[in-house]
């Protein structure tokens, strides 16, 4: 009786193992490391699925925590998980500088004339995202926080605060709360003592901080009442309001961190041509607009703007640029080029104290 | 069997030898497998904590040029030229890795090396002057000292750093950099949390094991299953469930508010409390099960004898029962403690930043910082701590009782 | 113990106290496992109690979502292959182990069981560094190897336990009556230790099926397992679909707990039968 059980088991196992080996051999496969959450969901609908239907390529999507280390680790281990990767401001230029991404400037993927900001050799600009202050209107109504100083004020607004679990996009907020204006932020950040000032300000709020790793998690915490307010990326917030009937309010006027998100190709990918083919498609105005209509991050391709749903204008970062800190500013980018590593470790040490 | 001459003895010995060889043949595949996929990776992992391949393997010319340097003034032109040749011969990503490695010892090295990688040098002019013109720091004595001291095959850097130490002018001193985590306090925290969890397991687990060993019928069966089920349920799922139970708006807080015990929700998760609760939940079966096994074997006749001789229940417990179950208790405690110090998943899910244990930092330096040498050094220390605990236990109690699941 | 009434009284109080603690602990142990069942039937997209309504939408979501289905298939595949490899290696090793002389035996069993005492994070990171060198990081094969390391000691323990429970005289009797080793194993040893092998195989299966730490370091995107999906969910995008996945893992554990219990009873019966 047991023999009757074992034999099919072995046969099953063998067939599965062979199936895996066969699966890995297929060449048309394209692997993408996305940023997860609503942005990736929109990319799936607006770019990945149509491209699969059009080209017959098979795309496997993965997600990561948007940290440089993941890219470094794959290059260092010489085992690439992805061919294409979505990278954010400061991480993208840094990875490009370190030679972790392919230089695709000669591949004719995008034209400079379609974009306001200068193109970077390894990076295909996809959308503009803002890191914003959010609170739950269902709990605080119209009497929510107005400034980052309010965000720091746990007497006036009791409860925990949500932050992205990284030094980048955290120490900036500390400086804003400490009275630095959005216009001066990069100057203060890069000047001597700027980092210490930020950590000192963070010390004040530390017992009340809840770190999150994705903005979906942030919004989950906000909805459940575990945190009173949070830093989050604008598209996911608006998406939650649209899909789940939340009343999350974005405080644009407090100041927000606005930067470009990019697609890039991993250095030494075996599937460079396939990757370039997908990126050409994804960068087209039509797909760009479709992306924004699903999850309201602003497109960077100017040709996509006329194709947008006009009702989205108010919720897009592009309508609030007067209170934005520009994360694509070369001075800001070069600050993170020089300081990402030591700040990462200092931040981890500070968190663990 | 006793009768028989030397032939029979020889035949017996030969047959026993044959049996041993046969037995070893059966064990061999598993042993070879474990050596190849477990022992060797572990040895290499440990070696990585002193390995300096990132600099050693990419700076061959620099190394030999530096061997002629007296270390007093700036190095000669040949050293500059050798470094430029070495750095420009490797890929940009390898140069970035080299820069990052040297940056641990001297901030600013990363951008120096990366910019040297892309620097256009005029072969007709001296390299030193061109490098210093591109970045004045190439004219600093300190930079060359760092390159010189970090170009060996092995480095003490990671092991020292994992203990909050560093090398300064050839002497071991306390680490000064504010970027370095305070690993000693993290080790202390790891042991502290594990100790508390072990203690809680003892207090809660002992009566449970006792009841389990004495209970009969459906009560015993249900109790047994309710301990076995969590034992075999994924740690991940269990830790995740605690989030749902303990969060601000979670089931427990709502329940306590509904019955009027509290007015405002308690903060039970993303802090130490949550870590203790979830870790005890995960580890309790690991304490109860071996102890239960030992308690089953307790000689009841001895207890009855003691009682019939007029010993009070407490005395029976202390002098007749406890001595029989102490080995089981100790085995359970060591098992729980040793497993606890290696915890990773649970503190990440239910703890806050100040509740992360040493495994978190092994993972952090592997994945989030790509400082693999430091990850290896921290992991090696964790491994040593584990082996030390087990070694002490074996020395005190013998090796028989350590056979239970993870 | 029935000789003294006062002893009985005190004992009873102690007994009752201990039983009460045991019941509370049982509730403490089981609640977190059961709580995800109702949550998986919520109608809302965020996991908050009380349930805003009851629906099957997340089950539908799970079983129609290719990402989750692939993860489920991957987990099953990985667990089955790990189970087969670990059971074969582990059973052979256990058969050899019980025949070794005492000195060899303690050395070999320490080696065989050592993966149990090394913190999983070290096995995960260690094999990651090693496999990265060999080009195995992120491959199915690499994960099978790592999981087999974790599962092998459990198989050895389970099979050794039954082997020690049954009478080696039976095997010797078979040899004496002229049977060659393999038929002797097949007809005498195998049926007797089958419960041990099956228990070991079940341990191996569930170890791999639930495993997350090695998967975090070794798993590539084309090979996401169920726990890996849950992990990124529990840390990142939390949806009730995760509760559905967790329910599946728990169901697997329930089934396995019951199977092992049944096997244990059977092994007891067999070893009793063999002894008499």
pLDDT at A4 over 50: no
Statement: residue A6 has pLDDT above 50 = no
Task: Report d(CA B68, CA B71) in Å as an integer.
Answer: 9
Coil, strand or helix at A53: helix
* DSSP structural state of residue B174: E
pLDDT band at A7 (very low <50, low <70, confident <90, very high): very low
Task: Give, for A263, the enclosing helix (H) or strand (E).
Answer: strand A256-265
Angle between helices B40-48 and C120-134 (to 10 degrees): 90
CA distance C250 to C233: 17
* pLDDT of C176: 63
Prediction ipTM score: 0.89
Q: Which tens digits make up the pLDDT trace of A276-308?
A: 999 999 999 999 999 999 999 999 999 999 999
Q: Is residue C146 part of a domain?
A: yes
Establish if C144 belongs to a structural domain. yes
Q: 3-state class of A212 per DSSP?
A: strand
Identity of the residue in C132, C194, C198 whose CB atom sits nearest the CB atom of A77: C132
Phi/psi region, residue B277 (left: phi>0; alpha: psi -120 to 50; beta: rest), is: alpha
**Which residue numbers of A have CB closer than 8 Å to B's CBs?**
67, 69-70, 72-73, 75-76, 97-100, 209-211, 224-226, 267, 337-338, 341-346, 348-349, 351-353
Query: Which residues 6+ apart lie within 8 Å of A177 measured at CB?
Result: A147, A148, A149, A151, A152, A201, A205
* Of C13, C38, C58, residue with least CA distance to C242: C58
> Which of the 8 DSSP states describes residue A193?
T
C41 domain residue, yes or no: no
Report d(CA A243, CA C45) in Å as an integer. 9
* Torsion (CA) A315, A317, A318, A321 in degrees, nearest 10: 120
CA distance C249 to B185: 36
> Exposed, middle or buried, A81 (CB in 10 Å: 0-12/13-18/19+)?
buried
Interchain CB contact of B179 with A (< 8 Å): yes
Q: What are the tens digits of pLDDT across the range A26-73? A: 456 899 999 888 899 999 999 999 999 999 999 988 888 788 888 988
Residue B4 carries which DSSP code? -
**Dihedral of alpha carbons C129, C131, C134, C137, sign:** negative
Report yes or no on C13 lying in a domain.
no
Q: Smallest Cα–Cα separation from A47: which of A279, A233, A317, A241?
A: A279
Query: Distance between CA C96 and CA B135 in Å, rounded?
Result: 67
Contact criterion met (CB below 8 Å) for A98 and A212: no
In which residue ranges of chain B is pLDDT below 70? 1-4, 176-181, 398-406
Classify residue C165 as left (phi > 0), alpha (psi -120 to 50) or beta: alpha
**Nearest CA to C224 among C65, C9, C25?**
C65
Quote the DSSP letter at residue B368. I
| C-alpha–C-alpha distance, residues B53 and B41, integer Å | 17
Residue A298's contacts (CB-CB under 8 Å, 6 or more residues apart) are: A127, A128, A292, A316, A317, A318
Measured distance CA(A173)–CA(A163) in Å, rounded: 9
C-alpha–C-alpha distance, residues B129 and B148, integer Å: 20
Cis peptide, bond prior to residue C50, ω within 30 of zero: yes
* For helices B183-214 and C5-34, angle between their N-to-C axes, nearest 10 degrees: 120
Domain covering A130-258 assigned CATH 3.40.190.10 in the classification = yes
Measured between alpha carbons, how far is A268 from A271 in angstroms, rounded to an integer?
A: 9
Of A70, A99, A344, Cβ closest to residue B93? A99
Is the pLDDT score of A221 beyond 50?
yes
In chain C, the number of structural domains is: 1
Domain of C164?
59-275
For residue A18, is pLDDT > 50? no
Dihedral sign for Cα A168, A169, A171, A172, please.
positive
Residue A25 confidence (pLDDT) above 50: no
Separation CA B184–CA B163 (nearest Å): 6
Cβ pair B34:C7 closer than 8 A: no
**CA gap B234, C197 in Å, rounded:** 22
Q: Give the CA dihedral A316, A322, A323, A325, nearest 10 degrees.
A: 90
Q: What is the CATH number of the domain that holds C159?
A: 1.10.3720.10
* Distance between CA atoms of residues A305 and A289, nearest Å: 7
* Residue C25 · residue B208 · CB < 8 Å: yes
Is C21 within the bounds of a domain? Answer: no
Say yes or no for a CB contact (<8 Å) between B103 and A341: yes
Distance CA C272, CA C192 (A): 11
User: Using CA atoms, how far apart are residues A154 and A158, in angstroms rounded to an integer?
Assistant: 5
8 Å CB contact of A214 and C81: no
Residue-wise pLDDT for A112-161, tens only, equals 999 999 999 999 999 999 999 999 999 898 989 999 999 999 999 999 99
Give the C-alpha separation, B74 to B141, whole Å. 6
Residue C259 lies in a domain: yes
- Contacts of C among chains (3+ CB pairs under 8 A): A, B
**With 0-12 CB in 10 A as exposed, 13-18 as middle and 19+ as buried, what is B269?**
buried
Half-sphere exposure of C199 (CA within 13 A, CB side): 27
Question: Residue C200: inside a domain, yes or no?
Answer: yes
Quick one: CA torsion of B313, B317, B319, B323, rounded to 10 degrees? 170
Backbone angles phi and psi of C211, in degrees to 5: -65, 140
How many angstroms away from the CA of B300 is the closest CA of chain C? 10
Could you list the pLDDT tens digit for every one of the 276 residues in chain C?
444 455 567 778 888 888 999 999 999 999 999 988 988 998 876 666 677 888 999 999 999 998 899 999 999 999 999 999 999 999 999 999 988 888 888 899 989 999 998 999 999 999 999 998 888 887 899 999 999 999 999 999 999 888 877 665 666 666 666 666 677 777 777 777 888 899 999 999 999 999 999 999 998 777 889 999 999 877 655 578 899 999 999 999 999 888 888 887 777 776 665 544
According to CATH, where is 3.40.190.10 located in chain A? 29-128+259-326, 130-258
Confidence of residue A332 (pLDDT cuts 50, 70, 90): very high
The helix/strand count (H/E) of chain A reads as: 15, 11
CA angle C26, C30, C33 (to 5 degrees): 170
Alpha-helical runs (H) found in C114-139: 120-134
Q: Is residue C11 one of the residues assigned to a domain?
A: no
Tell me, rounded to whole angstroms, the distance of Cα C96 from its chain centroid.
23
What's domain A29-128+259-326's architecture? Answer: 3-Layer(aba) Sandwich (3.40)
Give the pLDDT of residue A151: 97
Residues C209 and B235: beta-carbon distance below 8 Å: no
C50 interfaces chain A, CB cutoff of 8 Å: no
Residues on chain A bordering chain C, Cβ-to-Cβ distance under 8 angstroms: 2, 9-10, 12-13, 16-17, 19-20, 23-24, 29, 31, 33, 36-37, 60-63, 65, 76-79, 81-82, 213-214, 216-217, 220, 223-224, 243-244
């Amino acid at each position: 009786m047991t023999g009757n059980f074992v034999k099919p088991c072995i046969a099953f196992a063998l067939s599965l193992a062979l199936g895996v080996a066969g699966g890995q051999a297929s060449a048309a496969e394209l692997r993408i490391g996305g940023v997860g959450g609503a942005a990736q969901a929109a990319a799936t609908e607006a770019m990945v699925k149509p491209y699969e239907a059009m080209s017959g390529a098979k795309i496997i999507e993965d997600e990561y925590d948007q940290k440089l280390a993941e890219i470094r680790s794959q290059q260092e281990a010489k085992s690439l998980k992805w061919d294409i990767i979505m990278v954010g401001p400061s991480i993208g230029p840094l990875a490009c500088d370190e030679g972790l991404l392919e230089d695709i400037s000669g591949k004719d993927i995008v034209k400079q004339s379609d974009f306001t900001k200068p193109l970077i050799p390894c990076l295909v600009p996809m959308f503009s995202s803002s890191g914003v202050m959010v609170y739950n209107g269902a709990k605080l109504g119209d009497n929510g926080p107005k400034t980052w100083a309010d965000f720091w004020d746990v007497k006036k607004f009791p409860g925990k605060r949500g932050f992205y679990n990284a030094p980048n996009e955290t120490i900036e907020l500390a400086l804003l709360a400490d009275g630095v204006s959005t216009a001066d932020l990069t100057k203060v950040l890069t000047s001597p003592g700027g980092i210490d000032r930020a950590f000192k300000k963070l010390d004040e709020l530390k017992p009340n901080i809840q770190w999150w790793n994705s903005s979906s998690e942030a919004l989950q915490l906000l909805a459940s009442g575990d945190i009173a307010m949070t830093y989050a990326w604008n598209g996911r917030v608006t998406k939650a309001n649209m899909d789940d009937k939340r009343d999350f309010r974005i405080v644009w006027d407090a100041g927000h961190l606005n930067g470009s998100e990019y697609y890039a190709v991993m250095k030494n990918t075996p599937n460079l041509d396939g990757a370039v083919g997908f990126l050409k498609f994804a960068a087209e105005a039509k797909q760009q607009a479709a992306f924004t209509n699903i999850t309201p991050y602003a497109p960077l391709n100017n040709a996509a703007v006329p194709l947008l749903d006009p009702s989205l204008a108010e919720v897009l970062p592009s309508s609030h640029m007067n209170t934005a800190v520009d994360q694509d500013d070369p001075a800001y980018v070069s600050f993170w080029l020089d300081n990402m590593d030591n700040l990462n470790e200092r931040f981890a040490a500070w968190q663990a104290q | 069997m006793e009768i028989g001459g030397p032939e029979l003895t020889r035949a017996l010995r030969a047959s026993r030898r044959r049996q041993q060889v046969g037995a070893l043949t059966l064990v061999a595949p598993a042993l070879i497998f474990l050596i190849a996929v477990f022992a060797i990776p572990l040895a290499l992992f440990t070696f990585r904590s002193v390995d300096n391949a990132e600099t050693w393997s990419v700076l061959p010319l620099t190394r030999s040029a530096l061997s002629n340097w007296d270390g007093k003034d700036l190095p000669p032109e040949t050293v500059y030229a050798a470094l430029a040749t070495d750095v420009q011969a490797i890929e940009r990503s390898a140069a970035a890795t080299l820069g990052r490695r040297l940056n641990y010892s001297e901030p600013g090295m990363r951008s120096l090396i990366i910019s040297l990688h892309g620097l256009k040098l005029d072969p007709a002019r001296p390299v030193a002057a061109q490098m210093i013109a591109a970045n004045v720091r190439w004219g600093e004595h300190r930079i060359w000292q760092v390159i010189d001291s970090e170009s060996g095959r092995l480095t003490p850097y990671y092991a020292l750093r994992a203990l909050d130490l560093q090398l300064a002018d050839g002497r071991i001193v306390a680490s000064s950099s504010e970027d370095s985590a305070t690993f000693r306090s993290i080790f202390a925290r790891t042991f502290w949390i594990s100790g508390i969890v072990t203690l809680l397991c003892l207090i809660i687990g002992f009566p449970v094991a006792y009841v389990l060993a004495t209970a009969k019928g459906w009560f015993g069966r249900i109790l047994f299953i309710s301990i076995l089920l969590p034992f075999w349920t994924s740690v991940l799922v269990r830790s995740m469930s605690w989030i749902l139970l303990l969060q601000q708006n979670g089931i427990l807080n709502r329940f306590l508010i509904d019955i009027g015990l509290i007015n405002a929700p308690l903060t039970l998760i993303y802090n130490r409390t949550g870590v203790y609760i979830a870790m005890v939940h995960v580890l309790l079966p690991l304490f109860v099960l071996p102890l239960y096994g030992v308690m089953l074997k307790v000689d009841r006749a001895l207890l009855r004898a003691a009682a019939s001789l007029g010993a009070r229940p407490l005395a029976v417990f202390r002098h007749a029962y406890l001595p029989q179950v102490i080995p089981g208790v100790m085995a359970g405690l060591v098992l729980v403690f040793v497993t606890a110090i290696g915890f990773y998943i649970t503190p990440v899910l239910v703890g806050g930043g100040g509740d992360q244990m040493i495994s978190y930092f092994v993972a952090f330096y592997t994945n989030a910082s790509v400082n693999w040498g430091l990850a290896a050094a921290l992991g090696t220390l964790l491994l040593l701590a584990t082996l030390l605990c087990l070694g002490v236990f074996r020395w005190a109690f013998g090796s028989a009782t350590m056979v239970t699941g993870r | 113990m029935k000789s003294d009434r006062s002893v009985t009284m005190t004992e009873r109080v102690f007994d009752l106290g201990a039983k009460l603690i045991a019941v509370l602990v049982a509730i403490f142990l089981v609640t977190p496992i059961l709580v995800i069942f109702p949550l998986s039937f919520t109608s809302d997209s965020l996991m908050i109690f009380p349930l805003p309504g009851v629906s099957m939408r997340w089950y539908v979501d799970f079983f129609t979502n290719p990402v989750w289905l692939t993860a489920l298939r991957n987990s099953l595949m990985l667990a089955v292959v790990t189970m087969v490899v670990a059971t074969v290696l582990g059973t052979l090793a256990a058969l050899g182990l019980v025949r070794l002389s005492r000195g060899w035996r303690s050395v070999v069993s320490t080696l065989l069981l050592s993966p149990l005492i090394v913190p999983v994070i070290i096995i995960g990171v260690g094999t990651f560094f090693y496999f990265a060198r060999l080009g195995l990081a992120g491959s199915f094969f690499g994960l099978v190897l790592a999981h087999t390391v974790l599962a092998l000691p459990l198989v050895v323990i389970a099979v050794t336990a039954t082997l020690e429970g049954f009478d080696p005289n039976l095997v010797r009797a078979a040899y004496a009556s002229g049977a060659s080793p393999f038929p002797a194993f097949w007809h005498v040893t195998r049926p007797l230790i089958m419960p041990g092998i099956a228990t070991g195989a079940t341990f191996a299966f569930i170890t791999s099926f639930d495993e997350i730490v090695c998967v975090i370091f070794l798993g590539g995107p084309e090979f996401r397992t169920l726990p890996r999906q849950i992990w990124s969910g529990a840390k990142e995008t939390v949806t009730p679909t995760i509760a559905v996945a967790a329910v599946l893992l728990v169901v697997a554990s329930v089934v396995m707990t019951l199977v092992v219990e049944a096997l244990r009873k059977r092994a007891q019966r067999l070893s009793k039968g063999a002894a008499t």
